Chain A
Amino acid sequence: MVTPLLLRSSWRFFTHHPWQLWLTLLSIALGTAVMVAVDLANMTARQSFRHSVTLLAGPMTHEISAREGDIPEQFYTRLRIDWQLRASSPQLVATVRVAGLPYTLLGVDPFAMLFQPRAGLDIPAATLPRLLTEPNSALISSELAAREKLTIGDRLDVTIKQARKTLTVVAILDVKQDARLAELLVTDIATAQSLLDKPGVLSRIQLRLDNDQATQLQEQLPAELKLNSYQSRQQSFSQMTEAFRINLTAMSLLAMLVGAFLVYNTMTFSVLQRRHAFAVNRMVGVTGTQLFRHLLLEAVLLGLTGSALGIVLGIILGQGLLVLVTQTISDLYVSVDATNVLVTPWQIMKGMGITLLAVLTATLAPALEAARVPPVLVSRASHLEHTGKRISNWLLLVGIIAMAMSPLLIGASARSLVTGFIALFLFIVGYSLVVPGVLKAILRGLLRIPTDSLYQRMTLRGVQASLSRTSLAIVALCVAVSATVGVSIMVGSFRASVADWLEDTLQSDLYISATSGDSHIDGELDASWLPRVQALPGIASISTGRNARLEVEGVSVPMLVLQPGAHSSRGFEYLQGDPAAVWQAFLLEDVLLVSEPFAYHRGVQAGDHLTVQTGKAGRVSLKIAGVYRDYSASQGMAVIPRRVYDKYWADRGITTIGLKLVKETDVAAVAEQLRRWVASSDQAVMVRSNKTIRDFSLQVFDRTFAITNVLRLLVIIVAFVGVFSALMALFLEKSREYAILRATGITPAQLRRLVLWQSGLIGLLAGLLSLPLGWIMSDILIEVINRRSFGWTMQSYFFLSLPLQALLLSVLAALLAGLYPTQRISRVSLREGLHSL
């Protein structure tokens, strides 16, 4: 099927144009790499979370915990013996500190899961007697043992609730299987109860249940306890992070799209370059079908090689991205911890598959074109260029239709994020199809401007003449630059909105907060703090906050229990409801406030009622007094008045105290006083000014978008490589033309200038054309993608520096691409250049 003749001709072509081969491979590889890297990082982060859930859960499927506080231990005996739920394991958990670092003290009953399918934690049998009978005996991780230089029998000091206790190491757990074990100190449950001074209670009971058992247990369970499945925890993680992962995937697909444009460009170009060879082939009897198949085979080989390279690159890149992805997920959602990307054959196949598909699709048109043309015409570039012109008119129409479809699609797809992205991509593709036509029109327009400059004419004509070979490279550059413009505007607007919001929200001058190493439970400020703070001079008003979680219709969201001070009312910007009325209700009625993402995700508004699970009174219906702007919790949160909380919950703790100072009070002096108190107390407490918190929050914001910036950069690199290769191939092909110009008296310096002007013009055009696309992209990102991902709205901001950066970027990319050919031109002798004539 494949003729050796064609294979040899391909081989000769690519060995004679090594730069072109390598750059083609590189742009394929980079596109694949970005896509694979994002996929790997995403999956590893998810796996890591799943793993952290299953590690300690082991074969367990569910967990019982108390709605507030702990579980009375008698309940466990009843559960295990009377209710016959023997696949159950009681645990007492707390965060303790070893040499200042947080560790999880896990008290277990080693007998609970014996003779049952393997439990998550493997306690060496030989340690059981010591674990049970020796006071304060514990198992530690090999990591901790190595760091603290401990062996079996050694003593280990830990800090538990400000008290120093000494443990005896009876065994060392090998943490090679899982890094999460590294943060565990395992003891018998009796030891844990006694160390934590919590006799008679358990933190949780893990269970292995089938669906019927779970349903039955749910019905039997006392009201103060709750049953959760680990599967639902995994699902909620997937749901929570879905928007984030889709955003990343979309960015990586954009890199692929840019890559595909470039492959199309390269393949078209390589067909053009080889028209003589193909014509000869056809004349010696090669059929059009054979030629078509051959070009596809060539594309497959390029695709395979490029994607193989891309996967290797992608794994390395994915390792880097993983750090950013886990950082962002930990900042935004829950703590995940992954150090190495997981590579599965499926992901490799997926990466290669998508790349091959993109490369084949991109090759289809030029290959068909080359195969369809009669032998005599193949040799004439003009035919291809003519066809190109005919097609470009047609493409213009398709492009306009696609762009018009995009807003319709957005309008029709209520909240679907994926459809939002499809609409975005539709717009980008549509715009790209229109770009070649617009380019031509612009050049025609420019040529009409009367000028005396020969260079100017030559530059414009040169660019115009080469459009069939470069327009797609221009499109690719244009898409890449517009992506950077669009994303920058979005991130910039977002950041500015967050900064404004922080300014409004942080009404207190100083904040005192209890910290806790355990992310699940927020610290509790010692009761002595409030009276002490109240006695301070220069305090205008005081507010207190309690960070807790609220179960609303089966879903748990963060909740702030607020005891407002006189200054607190200004801390909320309401998106719904009259501010004065909302605040009045908050002060007097059984109401709550919900954040904008909460309202968006749940489809609720001010005036609606929500059924919440309370600690003391079971389910209670509370009215939503207002919806306020909030960028802190993407899944939404609620603010509940302290008065209402105290009525329905037993907890009286506070996490934060906010201080508004009288105008003339020296903030630094008060902060200093507070810090002195902190230093003299044992509790981990932070004193921060509103500025510190604002700076820190913006820092977290920037960290969150670090990955976006990296991806944006990667898209640019892919485009840059593509443009570089396209322009270089173009200029190299024109070497004969340049030789003729040289022969007619143009000096090498003049020629260099001409080429640089031409490439600069190409860059400028791409840059200019990227601006409207970037602008519209930012709008879709802000109004559609961000809203659908996180449920928040924001102000659009204009940044003058962005279009300038974009222009600079594309001109620079194009100029760099022109550099090598111009160097070559001046080196090549005239005779050599003319030789091919």
Chain B
Amino acid sequence: MKLRFCLLFGLLLGACDKVPTEAALDLTAALGGQAAQGFSRATEPRSFRFPRDHAAHPDFRNEWWYITGNLSDGQDQRFGYQVTLFRVALAPQSPRSQSHWATNQVWMAHVALTDVRANRHWHDQRLARGAVGLAGQTAQPFRVWLEDWQILGTSGGEFPWTVVVQTEQFGLQLQLQPVKPVVLQGDKGLSQKSEQPGNASYYYSFTRLRTEGEILKGDERVRVRGWSWLDREWSTSALGDGQVGWDWFSLQLEDQHELMFYRLRRHDGATDRHSAGKWILPDGQTRSLAAEEVNLQPLRYWTSSSGRRYPVSWQVTIPALQQQFIVEALVADQEMATGIYYWEGAVQVTSAAKGESLGYGYLEMTGY
């Protein structure tokens, strides 16, 4: 999940030089840029232990809890949601001070809800320091929060997790329980970012979380259920040059397969060879996918009010797995107009051959 690196750096550190620069980015881009010296680095595979590794790793510069999901009320209403908490260390050590406000940890959160029937997408963002109770995380009980937006686990730090978010437009109150084992991305959880050793992250996913709960739209409460996806990643290093953005797919098929694939786009439009993915079988077994094994073909574009032209319909072909499907945005406008502009939204997967629905997923596109 190299992509998320760039997203985070783009948002917080301005490391992706080709990431569109917004005036607002000025703020977030500024949060960092210092040398990585003094931070821990991901140099070799580690032994992941849970619930310990659900908690934060503050000696690494960046970290996130990234949850996306597709939910429905069992009738005609379908929703997509995103809840992401980012942690950034501004310096390796916390400043020494008698003040409780003094900290090197800054937290950022992005949340979104897509109402497919209403063809609407709402989103919100927050930033806070990890001090005086405004934001932070604890292992036992498991809790990651930014003000009143939070992800809560059991007192032992285990699943089920509860996601609680309330914005001016919508609210989420969801319970998440994995039905498949953890997937360690990359090489046993070490996700190499480039040739250089240490330029890597620790990265694991829960690709199928049974989700139940309530969505609030204004005064209306809707009971929902469906599937969510969790990505956890922490690292210190930045990406190399040459990339302009990425297209990231996390698809959950009804036959209990999942696909994760990201394509890094280079200046010339070519696919970066560090692009990669994983095909997860119903029993939790995985098969790695190399850059050249997946062919992505944009079919239709949508232009946002900010002037960006995003492909909102794709043909995904994986010859080695004899898979070919169409990935189509459930709502065209799922652009995140935050510190940095990107598109992150719920998609439907249909068979390229017969057109029947195969499942749902999330798509993230940056650098447009």
Asked whether A and B interact, the reply is yes
A contact set with B: CB distance below 8 Å: 73-74, 76-77, 80-81, 84, 86, 109, 111, 114-115, 124-129, 132-135, 188-191, 193-194, 197, 199-200
Give the chain A neighbours of B102 by CB distance below 8 A: 190-191, 194
Q: How far is the CB of B171 from chain A (nearest CB, A)?
A: 12
Residues of B253-288 contacting chain A, CB below 8 A: none
CB contact between B31 and one of A76, A84, A129 (< 8 Å): that residue: A129
The contact sample of 9 A-B pairs, CB cut-off 8 A, is A73-B101, A76-B132, A111-B106, A111-B127, A128-B30, A128-B31, A132-B103, A190-B103, A194-B102
| Nearest-neighbor residue (CB-CB) of A77 within chain B | B133
Asked if B99 and A194 make an inter-chain contact with CB atoms under 8 angstroms apart, the answer reads yes
Give the chain B neighbours of A77 by CB distance below 8 A: 132-134
B129 within 8 A of A: yes
Bound Cα distance from A229 to B27, whole angstroms: 30
Bound Cα distance from A693 to B100, whole angstroms: 45
Q: How far is the CB of A8 from chain B (nearest CB, A)?
A: 64
Tell me the dominant secondary structure on chain B's binding face: loop
Give the chain B neighbours of A135 by CB distance below 8 A: 95-97
Asked if B90 and A125 make an inter-chain contact with CB atoms under 8 angstroms apart, the answer reads no
Bound Cα distance from A306 to B323, whole angstroms: 89
Asked if B125 and A115 make an inter-chain contact with CB atoms under 8 angstroms apart, the answer reads yes
Asked if B26 and A126 make an inter-chain contact with CB atoms under 8 angstroms apart, the answer reads yes
Give the chain A neighbours of B99 by CB distance below 8 A: 189-191, 193-194, 199
User: 7 closest Cβ contacts across the A-B interface?
Assistant: A125-B27, A190-B101, A190-B102, A193-B99, A190-B99, A125-B30, A126-B30
Q: How far is the CB of B86 from chain A (nearest CB, A)?
A: 13
Contact mask for chain B residues 27-44; partner A; CB cutoff 8 A; 1 contact, 0 none? 111111110000000000
Give the chain A neighbours of B96 by CB distance below 8 A: 135
Asked if A200 and B100 make an inter-chain contact with CB atoms under 8 angstroms apart, the answer reads yes
| Nearest-neighbor residue (CB-CB) of B28 within chain A | A125
| Nearest-neighbor residue (CB-CB) of B98 within chain A | A199
Asked if A111 and B97 make an inter-chain contact with CB atoms under 8 angstroms apart, the answer reads no
Give the chain A neighbours of B104 by CB distance below 8 A: 132-133
Bound Cα distance from A134 to B99, whole angstroms: 13
B128 within 8 A of A: yes
Give the chain B neighbours of A74 by CB distance below 8 A: 132-133
Asked if A193 and B101 make an inter-chain contact with CB atoms under 8 angstroms apart, the answer reads yes
Asked if B90 and A193 make an inter-chain contact with CB atoms under 8 angstroms apart, the answer reads no
Q: How far is the CB of B21 from chain A (nearest CB, A)?
A: 12
CB contact between B134 and one of A81, A115, A126, A193 (< 8 Å): that residue: A81
| Nearest-neighbor residue (CB-CB) of A127 within chain B | B30
Asked if A80 and B90 make an inter-chain contact with CB atoms under 8 angstroms apart, the answer reads no
Give the chain A neighbours of B98 by CB distance below 8 A: 193-194, 197, 199
Asked if B129 and A73 make an inter-chain contact with CB atoms under 8 angstroms apart, the answer reads no
Bound Cα distance from A599 to B270, whole angstroms: 84
Contact mask for chain B residues 11-52; partner A; CB cutoff 8 A; 1 contact, 0 none? 000000000000000111111111000000000000000000
Q: How far is the CB of A122 from chain B (nearest CB, A)?
A: 11
B147 within 8 A of A: yes
Asked if A80 and B28 make an inter-chain contact with CB atoms under 8 angstroms apart, the answer reads no
Q: How far is the CB of B146 from chain A (nearest CB, A)?
A: 10
Give the chain A neighbours of B33 by CB distance below 8 A: 129
Contact mask for chain B residues 82-98; partner A; CB cutoff 8 A; 1 contact, 0 none? 00000000110001111
| Nearest-neighbor residue (CB-CB) of B166 within chain A | A84
Asked if A111 and B128 make an inter-chain contact with CB atoms under 8 angstroms apart, the answer reads yes
| Nearest-neighbor residue (CB-CB) of B88 within chain A | A129
Bound Cα distance from A199 to B127, whole angstroms: 23
Contact mask for chain B residues 323-338; partner A; CB cutoff 8 A; 1 contact, 0 none? 0000000000000000
Give the chain A neighbours of B101 by CB distance below 8 A: 73, 109, 188-190, 193
Give the chain B neighbours of A188 by CB distance below 8 A: 101
| Nearest-neighbor residue (CB-CB) of A193 within chain B | B99
Bound Cα distance from A111 to B106, whole angstroms: 9
B148 within 8 A of A: yes
Q: How far is the CB of A834 from chain B (nearest CB, A)?
A: 84
CB contact between A84 and one of B28, B29, B125, B148 (< 8 Å): that residue: B148
Asked if B27 and A129 make an inter-chain contact with CB atoms under 8 angstroms apart, the answer reads no
- The answer to whether A129 and B32 touch (CB under 8 A), given A109-B129, A115-B127, is yes
Asked if A129 and B100 make an inter-chain contact with CB atoms under 8 angstroms apart, the answer reads no
Bound Cα distance from A124 to B95, whole angstroms: 21
Bound Cα distance from A111 to B29, whole angstroms: 14
Bound Cα distance from A111 to B134, whole angstroms: 11
Asked if B147 and A129 make an inter-chain contact with CB atoms under 8 angstroms apart, the answer reads no
| Nearest-neighbor residue (CB-CB) of B102 within chain A | A190
Bound Cα distance from A114 to B27, whole angstroms: 9
- The answer to whether A129 and B90 touch (CB under 8 A), given A190-B101, A190-B102, A199-B98, is yes
B120 within 8 A of A: no
B126 within 8 A of A: yes
| Nearest-neighbor residue (CB-CB) of B97 within chain A | A194
Contact mask for chain B residues 146-167; partner A; CB cutoff 8 A; 1 contact, 0 none? 0110000000000000000000
Asked if B30 and A132 make an inter-chain contact with CB atoms under 8 angstroms apart, the answer reads no
Give the chain A neighbours of B103 by CB distance below 8 A: 132, 190
| Nearest-neighbor residue (CB-CB) of B105 within chain A | A132
